[in-house]
Structures are given as structure tokens and as C-alpha cells.
Structure 1
Amino acid sequence: MNQPFKFYEFFCGGGMARAGLGQNWECVFANDIDIKKAESYKLNWGDAEIKVDDIANIGTDNLRHPADLTWASFPCQDLSSAGSGAGLEGARSGTFWPFWNLVKKLKTEDKAPKMVVLENVCGALTSHKGKDFSAICNALQKEGYLFGAVVMDAVDFLPQSRPRLFFIGVQKDLTDVSFLTQESPDFKWHPKALVNAQQKLEEAAKNSWVWWNIPHPEKRKNSLLDYIEENPESVGWHTPAETQRLISLMSPLNLSKLQRIKELGEPKVGTIYKRTRKDEYGIKVQRAEVRFDSISGCLRTPSGGSSRQIMIFVHKEEIRSRLISTRETARLMGLPDDYKLPSKYNDAYHLTGDGVVVPVVNYISKHILEPVLSNLKKSQKAA
């Protein structure tokens, strides 16, 4: 039996990258500063590999086992369009730098991971007019990585709209990766915003850039209805008055969506997010925005109650609503039903809404990470 590939999981949360990498991989170190998330990690994966601490306090002495891969889903708040705009200088997203200093230290000790994956929101493409994207690329180039980036949307694999940016790097001259690259971008994985950001890179970073060649996935067959709990325990149904209050927050456009669904006469599930919008007079008002395309909106970490997704069930004139259940959020991240969630609603929502989508990780592993490392093993055996 082949030995599993070894990896570090930084900013690990509940271990969703670990879940996505699967049985061909062995985690030899994990880290997160969030105590509640770490408890979930331990509950599902055990406590042997995880160290709960600020990334700035992690040293190479903590990394006793060399790794083939380091995975880092570093905090996105300062890079998100909904965030502070502080970028990589922010208190949260800026934790990228102590993480990268650790990678640099590993290199000086001749223990640098063969591959690296960095995951974040697509706002990283344009944050600080592209300077943050360039800074990450420059960091990869200076430490000797051949790298490229892709934008992958969870909606290709499960019914959640969740595009994310993935930097994928491999130590330069370690092995030939030309069989996994192409000469020009594929707009499935390399949208215009990514191409524009790449074109602004410094020449040295451009010379280390590759366009990863990833096959297009088969058309997704599942829908939101497949992910719904019939009898959720983590949430209760709204009262009729609460549901009517929700409907009263809808704009004429959203009310027309609801009316069309009622007229269909078939049971239908939709999702709602409450948002602050300007009305026809330019006054900020709270709105309930609904979608009935069998896709969940992007799960977000709860901030107050406004960012918690609401489910709406319509059958003719009968309309019911409730918060999305914690198990439904886990399913929409690709986690199996035996994955243990925190008992408190907001803790579970924060854990899942702040994670990386499991089948997306698996797809990257299957089509880039494992082929590269398997090719490396073959070349080493031949030598």
C-alpha cells in the first residue's frame, strides 16, 4: 500500500481541508487560534495533531514531521468586499505574514513543503488595487515556488454559490508539472478579474506563474432540496406573523418572485438573506432578498442576525420559513452527516460558514496535488 501524502493544515477551523483531502493524506500538524473551532476539530479528528495558538507563536520546532503540502485558508475578513478594506495589513488577513514567515523558516532548514495551497475570497484579486494579490504572488516566487491561481465555485459540486480563490504552488525544479499546465487561461477557472490581476504582476512573479489545467467537472445533478432536513433539531419554525413580517421586507421584485412560485402550485424551497438597501428615495431600509433557483446563497459567518440564511418553503398559498439548520449548513459545505457540530447554533454556523468546501478541496487534490506528488515519487524511485 502506498504511503499517504503528509500535510500541514493552518487556520484549520473544523478540519474541512482535511476532510476534502481524504484518505490519501495524513495530517501531521494543524493550527487554529479559535478555541471553539479547535474543539470541533478535536471532536472529529482527535487532538494529536492540533495546536491551539496564535500563528505568530508557532515555530518550526512544532513541525516535527516534514510535509508534502501546507494548506492555509487564512482569514478573509480584511480582503472581503464586506470587510474593513485593510487587506494584508489588517489584523485578521494580515496573519498571512507570520504564517509565511514560518514557511520561509522551514526553507532555511531545508524542510519547506513541496506544495502549498492558499485559499481566500475573490476580493483578494482586487484588494488595494491588486497590491495584496501581487504581494502573495511575490512571496511565493521569492521562496522558489512555481505557482498559479484558480477561482473555483462550490456551485459546480453542490448547491451553494461560493466562489473562492486558490493559489497552488510547487517547489520550482522539484518535478516537471508541464503535463498539468497550459499556455493560456481557461476562463472556467481563470476569470477576467484573475487574468487582470496576473497581468499586473512583477516580471519575476510572472516568470514563476503557470496556468493550471484542470478538467471541467461534470454537470451537478443535486439541488438544494436534496440538502434539506425534514425535522431539524437546531432550529424551529417561524410563527405565521414572523413569516409575514419577512415577506413585508421584500421589494416589489422579490415579491414577484414569490408570487410566481405560488402560482406554480408545486412545493418549492428558497433562501433569503436580509440586507440593507436604498429605497426609491435613497433611504437605507432592510430588505429580504429571496432566490428560488435551487441554490443556496453563500454561507457567511453570523454577524448579529442579518447574515444568517433563512429558508422559505412555498406550496401554493402556504408559506413557511425558518433559519437554515446547522446540519444543512454542514451539508452545503460538503461535510457528511456524521461530522459532529457544536451544540450552539451560532458556533456551528460560524464553523461551517468560515470553512472551505470539502468537494472543492477534493477536486484540487485529485487533479493537481496528487498528480504532482505522485509524479515526484515516480521520478525519485527511477533515480
Structure 2
Amino acid sequence: MDYLVISFSIALFICLILQLYYTLAIHRKLAVYKGYEGHNQILEPISVIICAKNELENLKQHLLPFLEQDYPDFEIVIVNDCSNDGSDWFLRDLSLQHKNLKVVTINDHPRFKHGKKFAVTLGIKAAKNENLVFTDADCRPATNQWLKCIQRNFDEHTEIVLAYSPYEFKGSLLNRFIRYETFINALNYLSYALKGDPYMGVGRNMAYKKSLFFKGKGFASHMHILSGDDDLFVNQNATSTNTRIEIDCDSHIWSEPKESLSSYFSQKFRHQGAGKAYKSSHKKMLTLQVLSGFLFYVFLIVLIILKVDWWIIAAFYAIRLFIQILVYVPVLKKLKYIDLIWWVPVFDFIYYMFIVLLNFLALFRKKIEWK
């Protein structure tokens, strides 16, 4: 029994050290980040690209705030991807009122099936400007200063801008967890970008140069993977010198969260497919982070079963939670999710169990669709 206690205690200590490393050495970079400190005031022309497949109601609700951005020279490129819900008529009428709205239509073909990457590629080709900003039809900008916030990060070195897209608050337990999981993802990819090792971005709010897209041959290397038009592109093209982040509250893009567990799982399964194509160094990095968090709780539970003195178990748990709270509070404030701080003790455990379960179930799921 003593041998088991010592072995599991050592294993728990190793997991704790790894978790503290990720929190203090990586995530703290976002906690202390002061935000945009540049001086670029040049408002270069921008093209905003939105792919829409049967998104009529979302277009009616969310498109106008994009068209009404306080920006001197921009266009909105809507790729109407085989929609059969009347989106074409709505977009046609709207384009008569807004000259900066460009519509690219993809007609359905019985022999040719495609994913979102094909639609994004057509949108990029149709865009007339070098600076491209991407979002989705079910999203809305926090303010009319969104494009200015994104643009100010572009300079002679910056080719990719990673921004943030929170989910709307709905009040349910599922909604709170979705928002927490979104926070952890943002904490990760934004912190690693600040560290100089960007590995992903979120297509609801990101930007890059048109020339970078063609220089890197677009999505050619991962066109066979249905998802990944955002994170895989960043994973393969982002470097320590060509990537910046933007987290000002005016730059946020708010999104509608999934409202059922099944739809949420479907969304996460799509994302899992892209993760398998990350660079090996990034896969190892993320795997170690998740595995150490998962095993931290496993070994903690084992020590409880072995009836180890409660204060030892409490000490391990309290140290990690205390450091997390210190780092998470300033980040949650910046990302407008501060209400979630009270849920960290609960959702941190659920998060690691969820990620491991998701990866396990993904092994048996073959059919994945964009829409």
C-alpha cells in the first residue's frame, strides 16, 4: 500500500508541475498582455469573407452590422454556398442598397460535392483587396470599430491576425460549459501566439494576407479534410514573426452557441478531424497539456480511494486551483467572460474528462459534414 501511495503521489506531483508550467509559462502571457501597442493608423482596404449555406435568418439578423462598419474602404464578400432557403433573393436585394456587398454564388451539382474550403477559396479569389478578414454568418461584431481593430495589426511583417470570438450568454449549464471550453481554447491559442508559437485560429474572427494564401498554396495540403479552413491554415502558415493577436473588446465577434448536446458534439467532432493534421510538435504539446490535466484528476481520485491524508490531497488541488485563479481572472476580464470564474473548480474537471471522451468517440465516427 505504501508503495502505491508513493508512486501515485509522485505521478500526481509530476502532473501538477506540468500543469503549473502551462499556466505560468504559457497562459500568464495573455494575463499580462497589455493589448495593442503599435502605431499603425493606415486604414488599408479590407475584404470581409463570409461563407453562408442556408443561413437566411442569420444573414437577416447579423449582416447589416458588418456592412455598417466605421471604415473608409471595405467590401463584404458573401459566398452563397448552394443555399435553397431564399438567401439568393435576400442578398440580391441587399446588394442593390449596399455597393460594398459582393455575392458569389455556388450552385448545387449532383456530381460535385464540396466542403467549406472550396467556398472560402472562391471568396478569396473574388476579394479585390490584399487584407482578408474572415467570419461566419451566425456572428455579429461587438462594435462598428471591429475592422479598425483588426487592420491596425497589419504591417510589413504581419500576415496573420488572430482575434477572439466569444459565445453569447444563454444561462443554461451547457451554455456555460461551451463558453468555458471556448475560453480555454482562446487562452491556449492566443497565449501560444504571444509565446511565438502560434498553432491555430478561429474562423469566426481572424485575418490574413491574400498573398500568403496563394504563397502557401491555399488549402491544397489538407483539402481532403473537411474542417480546418481556419486552424489548419494558421497551423501551416503562422510563424513567430508574421502573427499578431487582437483582443480589444471592440474587436470581438459574438456568436450564437449550440443549444443541444448533440449539435455541440457534432461541432466538436468536426474540429477534431482538423487537429489530427497539426504539426507533430503542436500535437505533442497539446496532448501533453490535456493528458497531464486529465491524469492530475485521475491520480487525485486514486489517492482518495487509497485513503491518503486529506490535507495532502487538498494541498495538491489547492495549489493548482490557486495559480489558475490568479492567471484566469485577468484573462476572463479581457475576454468578457468574468462570470465563469466561479465555475472554474467544476468545469476544469469536466473539461478534461470531456476532451478525453471526445477524442475516444472520434475514433469511431467517420461521417463528418460541414452543413
Same fold per superposition (TM over 0.5) = no
TM range (shorter): under 0.3
Looking at secondary structure, tell me which structure has more helix per residue: 2
